[in-house]
Amino acid sequence: MPKLPYADGGLDRGGSRRADERWISGLLSEQATVIIPMWRDSCLIDGADRVRQCAPAAADLLAACGQPVFLGVRAEGAVFAADLSELDKPTALSIAGATAAADIRALFAGLSGPDAAALAYAKGMLRWHREQRFCGACGGTTQAGHGGHQRSCQGCGRLLFPRIEPTVITLVTAPPEQGREARCLLARHRGAKPGSFATLAGFVEIGESFEDAVRREVAEETGVTVGEVSYLGSQPWPFPSGIMIGFRSRALTEAIDVDGDELEEARWFTRDQARAANVGQRHDSIEHYLIEDWLSESD
């Protein structure tokens, strides 16, 4: 599988150095350092749809966001993210020198691979900070440390680390049989447009392997029993805190019985039918690659 979108920001995350506050503050005084301001999960863009990056000398920005979150160092210099979510939108735009707020996925086609990855990483980290201001054990307030890669509870001392929620995503296939072509199983989710079919996906539960999560999700949603499950690749999906783990899986049964809860319908598609239905067209998603990978094969 090729390098997937959002997967490589070209950043050295400085895992062994970011606990060093002097190192972090030194980076924040370097001219080559950039700070990516964000507002409530959105990028801040200028009139030409360019994502705003600020210099660390932007005193307004630092006063508004508190301590920026360290993302890493790349060839051009260090990269931080700053959260302006506490401000109203006009004030956030003004401080960032921006004219509008926009979602990363809407900007994806115009972003370089490393920039898309860095922005997704920034979005996920800033959301985590906003949602972990209190300790889940004692209710005490938490404080950021280690360049923003941990929070510690001021009440009980518990340490909190950024969490991700794993989701399995799979293309279920039925191999060719005598007189029949290979097929894949695609589903239309509740609320999706008519004719809009997608791969199956679901959250991994506690106490469950990725492979078992694939088998459970496919069975729950479509009634199809899956046997062999093969790992293909993974994709960061910090929208807000996911990672997609991609698999090809092989059906042992073909009868479909949709749950009617998450899915409207599910169908088997030959390669020609899948092409004609124009499936997998979100190019920033691992789903596109799972489907293209299969379409590129021949029986």
Binding site for Zn ion (CB under 5 A): 135, 137-138, 140, 153, 155-156, 158
* Shortest CB 142 distance to Zn ion, Å: 7
Say if residue 153 is exposed, middle or buried (CB neighbours under 10 Å; 0-12, 13-18, 19+).
buried
Bridge pairing between strands 226-237 and 165-174: unpaired
CB of 77 or CB of 136, closer to Zn ion: 136
* Shortest CB 151 distance to Zn ion, Å: 10
Classify the C-alpha dihedral 41-45-50-53 as positive or negative: negative
CB of 133 or CB of 250, closer to Zn ion: 133
User: Any idea which residue has 């979005």 for tokens?
Assistant: 123
* Shortest CB 270 distance to Zn ion, Å: 56
CB of 154 or CB of 230, closer to Zn ion: 154
* Shortest CB 138 distance to Zn ion, Å: 3
Distances (CA, A) of 7 to 3, 69, 104: 7, 19, 14
* Shortest CB 137 distance to Zn ion, Å: 5
- CA–CA gap between residue 99 and residue 151 (Å, rounded): 32
Cα-based torsion angle of the residue sequence 204, 108, 131, 149 in order, rounded to the nearest 10 degrees: 90
CB atoms near residue 166 (< 10 Å): 17
CB of 153 or CB of 266, closer to Zn ion: 153
Ramachandran class of 179: left when φ > 0, alpha when ψ lies in -120 to 50, beta otherwise: left
Tokens matching residue 199: 């791969």
What 3-state class would DSSP assign to 118? helix
CB of 123 or CB of 151, closer to Zn ion: 151
CB of 163 or CB of 190, closer to Zn ion: 163
* Shortest CB 134 distance to Zn ion, Å: 8
CB of 23 or CB of 134, closer to Zn ion: 134
What 3-state class would DSSP assign to 156? coil
Instruction: Give the closest residue to 170 by CA, choosing from 282, 250, 240, 269.
Output: 250
CB atoms near residue 193 (< 10 Å): 6
* Shortest CB 153 distance to Zn ion, Å: 3
- The answer to whether the CB of 200 falls within 8 A of the CB of 187 is yes
* Shortest CB 33 distance to Zn ion, Å: 33
CB of 145 or CB of 233, closer to Zn ion: 145
Q: What's the number of CA atoms in the CB half-sphere (13 Å) around residue 221?
A: 28
